[in-house]
Amino acid sequence: MIANTAAYHFTDITDPQVLCATLLARAEAAELRGTILVAGEGINLFLAGSQAGIDGFYAALAEDARFDGMRVKTSYSQMQPFARLKAKVKPEIISFRIDDGQPLDFPRAPAVDPATVQRWLRQGHDDAGKPVVMLDTRNVQEIEYGTFQNALVLPITKFTDLPDALAPHRDALRDSTVVSFCTGGIRCEKAALWMRNDGMDNVLQLDGGILGYFEEVGGEGYDGRCFVFDERVALDADLKPLVDQPAD
């Protein structure tokens, strides 16, 4: 059985090249595959391998105070979903290119936990009686596999397109509670921060993204699967992959 992990953490990294090399060496020693992204703003990890290898890698990372509180989302598959191991230093761990959406420069936007979102969707409004709008910050390729019921989806092909695509909807969202979401939380964290800094004080982020929602409460209120960027293609609400055997 292969353990598949997704994790990110925004924190000040003064030595991204050194950290990237260290994480690559640890992942290689643990015989992991996947992607390690490091930037001055933090790390973004997609790693898969044996449970022992995964546990050892993240145990070593947890000893670094910079990553205190980092959440690791885990699912399992029969096959290894990554062909190889890659490690890169980038300007951002998720490219947004907007100053007002940079997590190291501002306090984190308010988050809402999956159980609360589930309850709001059941009752049709938040606890103050306001309509709840689920805002999908992912691209159209991902949305084809599934999204929250009645979510606001935008015609974007990359995350940097979001501000322009959202502009026509802002007035209509004014009297609602907007919950931004994405696969694992990294994009909706930047999106929610930017939106609040840009005057939308009614925006929250779904803590842990879709995968965190599946992990904590299942798939209630969500139609379809969650696209993932590896050979599993997409996960259902039980975190089971659409594809779980190598292609011929």
Residues 71/49, Cβ–Cβ less than 8 Å: no
How far apart CA 138 and CA 162 sit, in angstroms, is: 9
Transcribe 172-240 into DSSP letters: HHTTSEEEEE-SSSHHHHHHHHHHHHTT-TTEEEETTHHHHHHHHH-STTEEE-EE-SSTT-EE-TT--
Q: Can you name the residues that pair with 89 across neighbouring β-strands?
A: 38
How far apart CA 39 and CA 233 sit, in angstroms, is: 26
Let me know if 182 is a catalytic residue. yes
How far apart CA 70 and CA 48 sit, in angstroms, is: 17
Q: Which of 20, 182, 188, 226 is catalytic?
A: 182
Residue type for position 109: A
Catalytic positions, please? 182
